[in-house]
Amino acid sequence: MASGTKPVVSFLGPVASYSHQAVRQAFSEDEWELRPVVTIDDVFDTVQDQEVKAGLVPFENSTNGSVVFTLDDLADRDGRYKDITVDGEVYVDVHHCLLGHKDTSSTTEDGADGSGTCTPTATDPSPSRPRTKPLSSLAHIKRLYSHPQAFGQCNAFISAYLKGVEVFEVSSTSKAAEIVSKDETGTYAAISSSLAAQIYGLDMLGRSIEDRSDNTTRFLIIGRNPTPPADWEIVKTPTTTTTTRPGSKSMVSFTVPHDSPGALAEVLSCFQAFNLNLTSINSRPSLVKPFQYIFFVEFEGHRHDDPEGRVRGALDKISRVAGSWRWLGSWERQR
């Protein structure tokens, strides 16, 4: 399990990804070895195969929504991740930068060569204006690299200042910075973090280029903890320790019998019957038949700290009305 004496937690690398920042927020490096892996699937694989004790994956972003790679692994359509549980969550404020190499031949200092306006399209007739201007000219940029989630969080800046630039999706924002650091043409740019600028030695061409200043990503901590042992404790930094306990959350996934009308409403009514507040609902295609889905519901409550039996009651009822279902975990909520 551990290469040294410490337990290991895996995360989407390379170093300087937002996942790296999230893992550092939740796990003390004095007590854990933080191991970067290449994909979200790798995080799930290393946890399932007990190569590591825990993993951290992005789950949802406040601007761009769900991280489908993580939902697909949690959907576990082929039973590969049968022992995975969700054991915690971490929130990170995400402020993206445009990183690359400054065009030293350009005389434009403040990026004034971009129009700063976005082109209206049929799907977005009144596009929002970017919040910030480039810090230097972007006229030389020919390729833009990042993680698909990050592109979706910086739409206004991209359409105002990087029109016509070829876009390349890569496995993480820090991978994008690493690729750009090896570019010898000086024409590649990455949407990544300020930490990545330092680590990969890149120039800051834009700062706070995200569409919304409240851009936040929620990460999940995963493990193999069907019933958490008494000594299982996630080490938190002072920033994530709150004075008032915000309570617990749990997650279940389920399918519904598709030939019966109101089947989804019936499963959701199980939470209402036991007065359990829902905090999120997601779905992914079941890949069994077109337009059939696996649903994910998060709700307030803890399976192992359930003095009134409300969570137990709801789960019992779900087991009778859902097509199939799985409890995915309970954890202490951070917000």
Say whether residue 147 binds ligand PRE (CB under 6 A): yes
Task: Provide Rg for the chain, Cα atoms.
Answer: 22
Does 137 participate in binding ligand PRE (rule CB under 6 A)?
Answer: no
Site membership for ligand PRE, residue 144 (CB under 6 A): no
158 binds ligand PRE (CB under 6 A): no
Q: Among residues 8, 9, 12, 43, which is the contact residue for ligand PRE, using CB under 6 A?
A: 12
- Closer to ligand PRE by CB, 149 or 159: give it: 149
Q: Whose Cβ is closer to ligand PRE: residue 10's or residue 19's?
A: 19
Based on the shown chain and the rule CB under 6 A, indicate whether residue 155 belongs to the binding site for ligand PRE.
no
Which window, 146-154, 229-237, 269-277, 310-318, contacts ligand PRE (CB under 6 A)?
146-154
Residues 195-234, mask of contacts with ligand PRE (x by CB under 6 A): ----------------------x-----------------
Residue 56 CB, nearest distance to ligand PRE (Å)?
9
Rule CB under 6 A: choose which of 132, 136, 149, 225 binds ligand PRE.
149
Helix ranges (H only) for the chain are 18-26, 40-48, 68-75, 148-153, 155-161, 173-181, 194-200, 263-273, 310-321
Our CB check for ligand PRE shows the closer of 165 and 170 to be 170
**Whether the Cβ atoms of residue 154 and residue 57 lie closer than 8 Å to each other:** no
Cβ within 8 Å of residue 39, ≥6 positions away = 12, 69, 171
* Integer Cα distance of 105 and 102 in angstroms: 9
Q: How many CA atoms lie within 13 A of 192 on its CB side?
A: 39
Least CB distance to ligand PRE at residue 173 (A)? 4
Instruction: Please report, to the nearest 10 degrees, the dihedral formed by the alpha carbons of residues 121, 122, 124, 130 taken in order.
Output: 0
- Residue 114 near ligand PRE by CB under 6 A: no
Of 89 and 306, nearer to ligand PRE (C-beta) is 89
End-to-end CA distance of the chain: 31
- 119-151 in b/e form (b: 16+ CB < 10 A) is eeeeeeeebeebebbbbbbbebbebbbbbebbb
**Residue in this structure with the two tokens 């007739």, named with its chain if needed:** 125
Which of 14, 58, 134, 329 binds ligand PRE (CB under 6 A)? It is 58
Q: Is 172 in the site for ligand PRE (CB under 6 A)?
A: yes
Chain centroid, CA 116 distance in Å: 29
* Of positions 94, 264, 321, 328, contacts ligand PRE by CB under 6 A: 94
**Distance of closest approach, residue 31 Cβ to ligand PRE, in angstroms:** 22
Adjacency order of strands within the sheet including 248-255: 278-285, 293-300, 248-255, 324-332
Stretch of residues binding ligand PRE (CB under 6 A), selected from 44-52, 107-115, 168-176, 272-280: 168-176
Residues in region 247-306 near ligand PRE by CB under 6 A: none
C-alpha to C-alpha distance for 7 and 19, rounded to whole angstroms:
18
Nearer to ligand PRE, 84 or 92 (CB): 92
Using CB under 6 A as the binding rule, whether residue 177 contacts ligand PRE is answered as: no
If one asks whether residue 61 binds ligand PRE (CB under 6 A), the answer comes out as yes
Give yes or no for residue 159 binding ligand PRE (CB under 6 A). no
Cα(321)–Cα(323) distance, integer angstroms: 7
- Which residue, among 141, 201, 171, has the nearest Cα to 18 in the 3D structure? 171
What residue type is 111 in one-letter code? G
The residues binding ligand PRE (CB under 6 A) are 12, 17-19, 58, 61, 67, 94, 147, 149-150, 172-174, 217
